[in-house]
Amino acid sequence: MTRVLLTGFDTFAGEASNPSWEAVRLVAAEPGGTDLEVTAVRLSCVYGIALDELRSAVERVDPDLVVCVGQAGGRPDVTVERIAINVDDARIPDNAGRQPIDVPIVEAGPAAYFAGLPVKACVAAARAAGVPASVSSTAGTFVCNHVFYGLMHLIATERPTTRGGFVHVPFASEQVADRAVASLPLPAIADALRAIVTTAATRTTDISAEGGSTH
Amino acid sequence: MTRVLLTGFDTFAGEASNPSWEAVRLVAAEPGGTDLEVTAVRLSCVYGIALDELRSAVERVDPDLVVCVGQAGGRPDVTVERIAINVDDARIPDNAGRQPIDVPIVEAGPAAYFAGLPVKACVAAARAAGVPASVSSTAGTFVCNHVFYGLMHLIATERPTTRGGFVHVPFASEQVADRAVASLPLPAIADALRAIVTTAATRTTDISAEGGSTH
Amino acid sequence: MTRVLLTGFDTFAGEASNPSWEAVRLVAAEPGGTDLEVTAVRLSCVYGIALDELRSAVERVDPDLVVCVGQAGGRPDVTVERIAINVDDARIPDNAGRQPIDVPIVEAGPAAYFAGLPVKACVAAARAAGVPASVSSTAGTFVCNHVFYGLMHLIATERPTTRGGFVHVPFASEQVADRAVASLPLPAIADALRAIVTTAATRTTDISAEGGSTH
Amino acid sequence: MTRVLLTGFDTFAGEASNPSWEAVRLVAAEPGGTDLEVTAVRLSCVYGIALDELRSAVERVDPDLVVCVGQAGGRPDVTVERIAINVDDARIPDNAGRQPIDVPIVEAGPAAYFAGLPVKACVAAARAAGVPASVSSTAGTFVCNHVFYGLMHLIATERPTTRGGFVHVPFASEQVADRAVASLPLPAIADALRAIVTTAATRTTDISAEGGSTH
């Protein structure tokens, strides 16, 4: 049995819903893998608060695996993030109106942490489930990257046996029916997350597969 | 009972499948509306031949409504085409290696035909089915526009009581799982087509709704 | 000597300037070709009014060639429009707050007019001047297409010896320095327009060159 | 007097030229700032070799400031990179046919290095020069990031008084005249680099300005 903590986010930036939370709920309700115990938690889209909520959830659930999920509106596919960087730099205010500019997430923390997931294997699993997916080399500098970096720092400093990572999902089709922008239906997004969670729960080494970006 | 002819295309441009044909087959197998008799026909992606095949199908099926469907790889949503223009101008060779440049489809035909579908109502219906959709003001100048113009010319000159139009669909997710490009799953594309066909079969006047493009 | 009427547009949609007008002014000030007499006129971004202004300018200038120019924000290159269609369908209000939906520009006018320029030769000339350019098969359904259709209708019905067409230009770099969106510097846009005007003034037949779009 | 080493890259990926090298040459020929001594060096687009060449150039020039420049085809603006990450992951083979997958650049090196440039001030300077520019949070995982990380590691371990960073430039307009893809003319790219080099040479602290990305 693998205990999995899955997190999604509150809505932000004027959207009516957040596909990260909607999809995470679907996965928790029906995880797919037989040996998975999945707890879904919704995080505030607020610098600082989101990390407090994540830490509480980790203490409560005591997970073997943590996968945080966020919305990357405009990306056409599900992206497994490769690296979290030690900077908050908000292009827009968060849900509490905070807009930090070029502030470290952890004072004197390392510049970055690589994800603790088998990133390429997770991408391959999502694709095998029929859902477009790829590796991303930036989670941005907003609350998503903030949570991702905070998670990896927590693991590095306090929970050496927990593995963790971050996945960005596109807009849900239901959310953008009247906007000409890339999207995937929520069930497809949930399918990708199931494949990723199952893969991350069952393998610790990655596969060797193309997936870099030229820039 | 409305007799509907739905057409999709052969694969082209090196793709392994064509979502227009895959989706059209799904709709023909399960049209959704109770008063629809849907025949699906696959057209060659070849200038001239495609129109011969369309004409034969129209004669055989004697449809009340014809909706031709093609792939618009890269578009993020299902697009209902507004207008067909009287020019073949191939950016790539068709499946027979033909590449006409700036040739009229019908010598001395009108410069363009507007679609015979309630375009805005069709878009609204696809959206109501949860699938992103919008109006398009160009079907390009390849075999899709060729078939669309040929269909409207056939209707204008020989079949005044038939209504017809053209719908472009994005890549199917299954087709581009390893490419970071916009897509929708085939079932979602089929849902959109069902909503469009049902709408086009049951109403002849359009709704007034925003849907233009600034350029 | 060829008398040329070049038009640009007022700013719209909240932009601080309109590169179509800025570039047209540069070309009128320095046309490049020795046998060109270029008059630049700025049109209102208002349905109806823009066409009244265009007609007045045509009567005043009595041009051999009319090239109307508009902004296509987001397009990466200079596009020579192939066809104007007989519909006003505003996605946003014009500068007078008008937002027509699916209204013909000319009641009982033809569905479309092809441009009266050697479109492919114009594209080749802009490229030869070092500026990215391509053919476009849609000028949209906003005031740009409105003016383009109105111009071609005026020529078709009243001025058989005048030639005319429409060119869309990208954002000027100066206009979007702080937005990550495609642009070209104004001098490059003006260079492209000079090449296009010179070409349109000196040749009436087009070249045969690839330039279609698959959709 | 500030000694500046500017590097560009060889052509790659089938392109006929590389705007990074073309622009860097223009800047070295005419640096703009009166107190700058700029040396331009062209690096091979080959993992490992490029870093050997960079190290040689640094030893020869003994620069106060190193700005490496690469092509980011498809980006619409000049981007100042924020961070270099410790991984080679090639999507395509480099110019020597090498295609490393998920290999650290420096065994046991830190996960990432932040740029040693005042990134936001550099972006503001390029914009003030009329050239669209923004911050980027990923330099990819190809030879550009390889050189960027190698440079920052060299500085961190051996040259504490040298400052360094990386700038990605879009396609040059001359390079893509017949492709509908974002570009800027070479002189505009060179103008942006001049503004960036002058800024980086004259200030060590950054400004506080928006420039993050939500994902």
**Is A15 at the interface with chain D, CB within 8 A?**
no
Exposure of A61 in the CB half-sphere (CA atoms within 13 A): 24
Structure tokens at A116: 């603790």
Residue B68: closest CA among B27, B121, B129: B27
Between chain C and chain D, the number of residue pairs with CB atoms below 8 A apart is: 74
Q: Going edge to edge, which strands form the sheet with C36-43?
A: C36-43, C2-9, C65-71, C163-169, C78-81, C133-136
Residue D114: closest CA among A104, C150, A117: A104
CB B3: neighbour CB atoms within 10 A? 16
Chains near C with 3+ CB pairs less than 8 A apart are B, D
Query: D140, A215: Cβ pair inside 8 Å?
Result: yes
Instruction: Name the CA radius of gyration of chain A, rounded.
Output: 16
B102, B208, B215 ranked by CB distance to C140: nearest: B215
Asked whether the CA dihedral B95, B98, B104, B107 is positive or negative, the reply is negative
- The residue annotated as part of the active site, out of B122, B144, B158, B174, is B144
Tokens 């109106």 sit on residue: A97
Task: Look at strands C112-114 and C83-85 and give their pairing.
Answer: antiparallel
- pLDDT computed for residue D155 by the predictor: 98
Q: What is the mean pLDDT of residues C41-59?
A: 98
Residue D211: closest CA among D144, D137, D154: D137
Outline where DSSP puts E strands in chain B: 2-9, 36-43, 65-71, 78-81, 83-85, 112-114, 133-136, 163-169
If pLDDT is split at 50, 70 and 90, which confidence band does A60 have? very high
Q: Which residues contact C131 (CB under 8 A, 6 or more apart)?
A: C77, C78, C184, C188, C189, C191, C192, C195, D173, D177
- For residues D50 and D146, the answer to whether their CB atoms sit within 8 Å is yes
A85, A90, A102 ranked by CB distance to D206: nearest: A102
Report the distance separating Cα B148 and Cα D109, nearest Å: 59
pLDDT of residue C33 exceeding 80: no
Q: Render pLDDT for B84-128 as a digit per residue (tens, 0 to 9).
A: 999 999 999 999 999 999 999 999 999 999 999 999 999 999 999
**Cβ neighbours of A196 in B, within 8 Å:** none
Task: Give the distance from CA C202 to its chain's centroid.
Answer: 18
CB C14: neighbour CB atoms within 10 A? 6
CATH code at D2-202:
3.40.630.20
If pLDDT is split at 50, 70 and 90, which confidence band does B33 have? confident
The H or E element that residue C54 is part of is helix C49-61
Is B144 one of the catalytic residues?
A: yes
- pLDDT computed for residue A191 by the predictor: 98
pLDDT of residue C110 exceeding 80: yes
Query: D76, C133: Cβ pair inside 8 Å?
Result: no
Report the distance separating Cα A152 and Cα A164, nearest Å: 7
Query: D210, A113: Cβ pair inside 8 Å?
Result: no
**Is B188 at the interface with chain A, CB within 8 A?**
yes
**Cβ neighbours of B209 in A, within 8 Å:** none
- For residues D37 and D29, the answer to whether their CB atoms sit within 8 Å is no
Query: Residue ranges per domain, chain D?
Result: 2-202
Listed by number, the residues of chain A in 71-90 with a beta carbon closer than 8 Å to a beta carbon of chain B are: 75-77
pLDDT of residue A34 exceeding 90: no
| Distance (Å) from the alpha carbon of B34 to chain C's nearest alpha carbon | 31
3-state secondary structure of C103: strand
Q: What is the mean pLDDT of residues B192-205?
A: 96
The H or E element that residue C151 is part of is helix C143-158
**Is C207 at the interface with chain D, CB within 8 A?**
no
- For residues A175 and A183, the answer to whether their CB atoms sit within 8 Å is yes
C77, C183, C185 ranked by CB distance to D180: nearest: C77
Query: C131, D173: Cβ pair inside 8 Å?
Result: yes
- pLDDT computed for residue D186 by the predictor: 97
- pLDDT computed for residue C96 by the predictor: 97
- For helices A49-61 and A143-158, give the axis angle rounded to 10 degrees: 40
Query: A210, D87: Cβ pair inside 8 Å?
Result: no
B127, B178, B180 ranked by CB distance to A177: nearest: B127
Q: What percent of chain B has pLDDT over 90?
A: 97
Q: What is the mean pLDDT of residues A176-195?
A: 96
- For residues D132 and D185, the answer to whether their CB atoms sit within 8 Å is no
Q: Which residues of chain D have pLDDT under 50?
A: none
Q: Render pLDDT for D81-115 as a digit per residue (tens, 0 to 9).
A: 999 999 999 999 999 999 999 999 999 999 999 99
Per-residue DSSP letters for A62-89? --SEEEEEEE-TT-SSEEEE-EEES-B-
- pLDDT computed for residue C41 by the predictor: 98
- pLDDT computed for residue C34 by the predictor: 73
DSSP designation for D174: G
| Distance (Å) from the alpha carbon of A32 to chain D's nearest alpha carbon | 28
DSSP designation for C88: B
**Cβ neighbours of C133 in D, within 8 Å:** 177
Query: C134, D185: Cβ pair inside 8 Å?
Result: no
Which residues on neighbouring strands pair with residue D206, listed in sequence order? Answer: none
* Helices and strands in chain D: count of H runs, count of E runs: 5, 8
Question: How far is it between the farthest Cα atoms of chain B?
Answer: 45
> Between the CA atoms of D51, D57, D61 and D66, what dihedral angle is there, to the nearest 10 degrees?
-40
A113: closest chain D residue by CA: D111
If pLDDT is split at 50, 70 and 90, which confidence band does A33 have? confident
Query: A90, D211: Cβ pair inside 8 Å?
Result: no
Report the distance separating Cα C3 and Cα C36, nearest Å: 6
Query: C83, B85: Cβ pair inside 8 Å?
Result: yes
- pLDDT computed for residue A32 by the predictor: 85
**Is C1 at the interface with chain D, CB within 8 A?**
no
- For residues D39 and D6, the answer to whether their CB atoms sit within 8 Å is yes
Tokens 């729960």 sit on residue: A201
C91: closest chain B residue by CA: B212
Task: Give the active site residues of A.
Answer: 81, 144
D72, D208, D214 ranked by CB distance to A215: nearest: D72
B73, B102, B206 ranked by CB distance to C206: nearest: B102
C127: closest chain D residue by CA: D177
Angle value at C-alpha C72, between C66 and C77, nearest 5 degrees = 90
- pLDDT computed for residue B32 by the predictor: 85
User: Which residue intervals of D36-118 are DSSP H helices?
Assistant: 49-61
